[in-house]
Amino acid sequence: MSRHLFLGDESIAQGALDAGLSGVYAYPGTPSTEITEFIQHSQQAIDGDVHREWATNEKTALECAIGMSYAGKRAMVCMKHVGLNVAADPFMNLAITGVNGGVVIVVADDPSMHSSQDEQDSRYYGKFAFIPIFEPSNQQEAYDMVYEAFDFSEKYNIPVMIRITTRLAHSRAGVERRAVRAQNEIRLHANPKQFILLPALARRYYLELLDKQPKLDEEAENSKYNSYFPGRDKSMGIIASGIAYNYLMENYVGTECPYPVLKITQYPLPARKIAALVDECDSVLVLEEGYPLIEEQLRGLLNRTGEIKGRLDGTLPRVGELNPNNVGLALGISQQEGSPVPEMVVPRPPALCVACPHIDSYLALNEAMEPYGKGKVFADIGCYTLGALPPYNAIYSTVDMGASITMAKGAADAGLLPVVAVIGDSTFTHSGITSLLDAVYENTPITVMILDNSTTGMTGGQDSHAFGRIESICRGIGVDPEHIKVIKPLKNQHDVNVQIIKEELEYQGVSVIIPTRECIQTLNRRMRAKKKE
């Protein structure tokens, strides 16, 4: 079959398409976005009529995938790690219902928080839900694992998690493709009650899920992805999972690793293989990206051995990404320092683009808020989060998607007035609508600014589900039309905008201000494309 130079994300996308995917459901989030974008542009997907639109959020994405699985077809869901918090409800329950058509849930973790608010490790979610996890160590494995994961999912009637991290998602390597499999036909589950989680049924399905565990354990013990490599120096054995295995190997280019190595890329953990390594070695070094999940299980509650090295004893950093250098140091291999950064290279903090509409919104908001002092503007996640930095210093919170409105409501409930919530258009549809409904229900005095730049700017300009709908959504959920104000965030409108914001701050109920102007980046792209026509 053909060989391609693929990003980790693209390997996953191609693996799924070749495995007979019928639909991908996702909400953008670094470092997972490119999986769905690849499928959206793939001729193979277009010809095969693979469903490939963005979802409103990760929860709706997963629920759509469950529906596609219900109909017997293969579906994949992609998200960044924090997206799984949003999708956690269907995620946990899908493990209980099981699947009909195969379901693969790809979660891209971001250790070191390159573009995220935390570095949570999704393997814990997989373990929590009792589902199998594949954690590729390179792009070829990413392709192969996704390709095989659908069969695995259908064999055991269980969703499969693929866990990747930033470096794998965003680096390239050669990938060998396999034969393209046809999509499943529509076929309902033999048990018409399989997806009904009434307690009497759910109790039965939960036991069935637990019954599957020994079989999943056996699969992991015998998996080609969990391989043992002998080594002559038994003073230390190494367990390396996922991409950490790659970092280990980078320390032994052209030479053999002297220590026995157990590579783990399929979970549940292969207990017998681990026990064999522990028994033959004096100590064990655990290399895993993210939290010390394997290490903690090895140490157990009582930590009797004292011979396990990893993130918990300081051999490796407790937080942040692994890399070939910190892995090398853990192996006792001295590392060369890189040249110091020249003085002329000054760090450049991220900033809003020149002429970004959010700039004019913040300038107007800052002026309107001046009499009320600092600390009363709650914000959300998107390009506009950069309003926290100088020169704007305009916002005081960014916690999770949708939290701006509900945090502002809570603060208003506490008596902190006036308060403002700033939220982007995509974040508003992702999880701001229900937050706004909370405020409408109690007519809480808050001013909500929905920054409508017609796109999901931060993740590269995907369409926003709110396009052309924000006003009607707000009206529909009960915001008084008198207090829905659409403004133009432009320099020449500054005074008018300040005046409107001031008036709404005085109003003792829910008001919504919608600064509307397209993101300068998508506008430029559109103009360039138009010129080419």
Ligand X SMILES: Cc1ncc(C[n+]2csc(CCOP(=O)(O)OP(=O)(O)O)c2C)c(N)n1
| Interacting residues toward ligand X by CB under 6 A | 27-29, 80, 82-83, 86, 381-384, 401, 424-427, 451, 453, 455-459, 464
Q: How far is the CB of 24 from ligand SF4 (least distance, A)?
A: 24
Longest dimension (CA), the chain: 78
Shortest-Cβ-distance residue relative to ligand X? 424
Identify whether 192 is preceded by a cis peptide bond (ω within 30 of 0): no
Which of 83, 268, 402, 457 is close enough to bind ligand SF4 by CB under 6 A?
457
Tokens representing 364? Answer: 């107007």
Q: How far is the CB of 294 from ligand X (least distance, A)?
A: 26
Q: How far is the CB of 32 from ligand SF4 (least distance, A)?
A: 19
Which of 316, 356, 369, 440 is close enough to bind ligand SF4 by CB under 6 A?
356
Q: Which helix (H) or strand (E) holds 118?
A: none
Burial (Cβ within 10 Å: 0-12, 13-18, ≥19) of residue 490: middle
82 binds, among ligand X, ligand SF4, none (CB under 5 to 8 A by kind): ligand X
Q: CB–CB of 3/143 below 8 Å?
A: no
Q: Which helix (H) or strand (E) holds 391?
A: none
- Work out whether the CA dihedral 56, 60, 64, 65 comes out positive or negative: positive
- Residue 444 found at the interface with ligand SF4 (CB under 6 A): no
Q: Which is nearer to ligand X, 148 or 471 (CB)?
A: 471
Q: Which is nearer to ligand X, 29 or 270 (CB)?
A: 29
Radius of gyration of the chain (CA): 25
- For ligand SF4, which stretch binds (CB under 6 A), given 33-41, 103-111, 435-443, 515-523? 515-523
Q: Which is nearer to ligand X, 29 or 136 (CB)?
A: 29
447 binds, among ligand SF4, ligand X, none (CB under 5 to 8 A by kind): none
**Which residues ranging from 300 to 339 are in contact with ligand SF4 (CB under 6 A)?**
none
Which of 57, 453, 454, 456 is close enough to bind ligand SF4 by CB under 6 A?
453
- Residue 490 found at the interface with ligand SF4 (CB under 6 A): no
Nearest to 152 by CA among 93, 82, 84, 222: 222
Label the pairing between strands 266-267 and 133-134: antiparallel
500 binds, among ligand SF4, ligand X, none (CB under 5 to 8 A by kind): none
Q: Which is nearer to ligand SF4, 258 or 460 (CB)?
A: 460
Q: How far is the CB of 483 from ligand X (least distance, A)?
A: 22
Q: Which is nearer to ligand X, 240 or 401 (CB)?
A: 401
**Helix/strand/coil for 259:** coil
Q: Which helix (H) or strand (E) holds 161?
A: strand 160-165
DSSP letters for 457-471: GGGT-BPPTTTTTHH
Nearest to 20 by CA among 41, 57, 45, 52: 45
- Residue 376 found at the interface with ligand SF4 (CB under 6 A): no
- Residue 521 found at the interface with ligand SF4 (CB under 6 A): yes
Q: How far is the CB of 381 from ligand X (least distance, A)?
A: 4
356 binds, among ligand SF4, ligand X, none (CB under 5 to 8 A by kind): ligand SF4
* Distance from C-alpha of 339 to C-alpha of 75, rounded to nearest angstrom: 47
* Distance from C-alpha of 108 to C-alpha of 352, rounded to nearest angstrom: 26
168 binds, among ligand X, ligand SF4, none (CB under 5 to 8 A by kind): none
Q: Which helix (H) or strand (E) holds 446?
A: strand 446-451
Angle at 108 between CA 185 and CA 6, to 5 degrees: 75
Report the interface residues with ligand SF4, using CB under 6 A. Answer: 352-353, 356, 358, 383, 453, 457, 519-521
